[in-house]
């Protein structure tokens, strides 16, 4: 299976859709699955822009159509009537196969997601080509209860969409990166599953995102890793 990690730098506007479509078209002949970060269609610090920039699913028909050639996983702010979700979307074979709504919305320090989004309430999985897949969004993975839910689901592949700001700089590297890698390695081993971790890069209002997207195998080994702070689209065979 060929997996493309799309470590992008979303802007705080709707132009991200055009860029994502271009990236998908460029990679669809050489890859089976392309994964974008959390809120890749919107940018992270939306705040009140959410009311203008959130998407409805009917506006993403072109991504749905492209998924006839390559599976596409993308993070988006979605509107459903008066409700807004921080969602991970899995498009395949010309349709939306699965939608995971972020359950654990951070609301501390620099994070204000619970102020704007409505939380999801379940961790589900779906089957594709005899493989069982689970999707999560960022903060979801920091909760031990979620790890237990994933173990019960027993997926073959876990996809984590992330928008993690860089913090905790020291002589040994980035503290938040080490914490994240410990989490994804633990989850992959607990579930005996491969795990795809895609984190964004770029800056928003002085907030910098570090990237470092990676693929972890069932033995908790990071088998592929993208560099920090660099916008990069790269395909790997697993």
Which pLDDT belongs to residue 92? 98
Residue 206 pLDDT level (bands cut at 50, 70, 90): confident
Which pLDDT belongs to residue 119? 97
What percentage of the chain has pLDDT greater than the value 70?
A: 100
Burial of residue 217, with CB atoms counted within 10 A of its CB: 0-12 exposed, 13-18 middle, 19 or more buried: middle
Mean pLDDT of 28-49: 97
| Cβ atoms of 56 and 87 closer than 8 Å | no
Which pLDDT belongs to residue 109? 78
Tens digits of residue pLDDT in 171-186: 888 999 999 999 999 9
- For 149, residues 6+ apart whose C-beta sits below 8 A from its C-beta are 123
- Residue 54 in this model has a pLDDT that exceeds 90: yes
What is the CATH number for 185? 3.60.110.10
Mean pLDDT of 107-113: 87
| Cβ atoms of 41 and 10 closer than 8 Å | yes
Number of domains the chain is built from: 1
Dihedral-angle region of residue 24 (phi above 0 means left; psi in -120 to 50 means alpha; beta otherwise) = alpha
- Residue 170 in this model has a pLDDT that exceeds 90: no
Residue 9 pLDDT level (bands cut at 50, 70, 90): very high
Which pLDDT belongs to residue 110? 81
H-type alpha helices, 120-174: 144-153
CA distance 172 to 140: 26
pLDDT mean across residues, the chain: 96
pTM listed for this prediction:
0.97
Mean pLDDT of 186-209: 97
Which residue range is the domain that position 233 belongs to? Answer: 2-237
Strands 131-137 and 95-101: unpaired
Strands 71-80 and 83-92: antiparallel
Q: Convert 193-208 to b/e letters by CB count within 10 Å (16 or more is b).
A: bbbbbbbbbbebeeee
Which pLDDT belongs to residue 236? 98
SS (H, E, C) 33-96: EEECCCCCCCCCCCHHHHHHHCECHHHHHHHHHHCCCCEEEEEEEEEECCEEEEEEEEEECCEE
Which pLDDT belongs to residue 183? 98
Which pLDDT belongs to residue 205? 86
- Residue 194 in this model has a pLDDT that exceeds 90: yes
């Amino acid at each position: 299976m060929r997996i493309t990690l799309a470590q992008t730098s979303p802007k705080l506007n709707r132009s991200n859709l055009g860029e994502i479509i271009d990236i998908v078209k460029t990679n669809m002949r050489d890859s089976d699955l392309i994964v974008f970060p959390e809120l890749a269609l919107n940018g992270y610090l939306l705040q009140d822009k959410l009311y203008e920039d959130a998407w409805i699913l009917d506006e993403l028909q072109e991504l749905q159509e492209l998924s006839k050639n390559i599976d596409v996983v993308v993070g988006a702010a979605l509107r459903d009537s008066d409700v807004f979700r921080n969602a991970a979307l899995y498009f395949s074979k010309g349709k939306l196969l699965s939608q995971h709504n972020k359950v654990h919305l951070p609301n501390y320090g620099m994070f204000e997601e619970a102020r704007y989004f409505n939380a999801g309430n379940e961790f589900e999985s779906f089957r594709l080509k005899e493989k069982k897949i689970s999707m999560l969004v960022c903060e979801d993975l920091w909760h031990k209860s979620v790890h237990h839910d994933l173990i019960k689901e027993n997926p073959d592949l876990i996809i984590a969409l992330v928008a993690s700001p860089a913090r905790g700089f020291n002589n040994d590297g980035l503290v938040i990166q080490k914490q994240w890698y410990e989490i994804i390695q633990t989850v992959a081993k607990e579930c005996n599953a491969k795990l795809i971790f895609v984190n964004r890069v770029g800056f928003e209002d002085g907030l910098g995102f570090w990237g470092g997207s990676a693929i972890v195998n069932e033995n908790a080994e990071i088998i592929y890793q993208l560099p920090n702070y660099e916008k990069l689209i790269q395909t790997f065979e697993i």
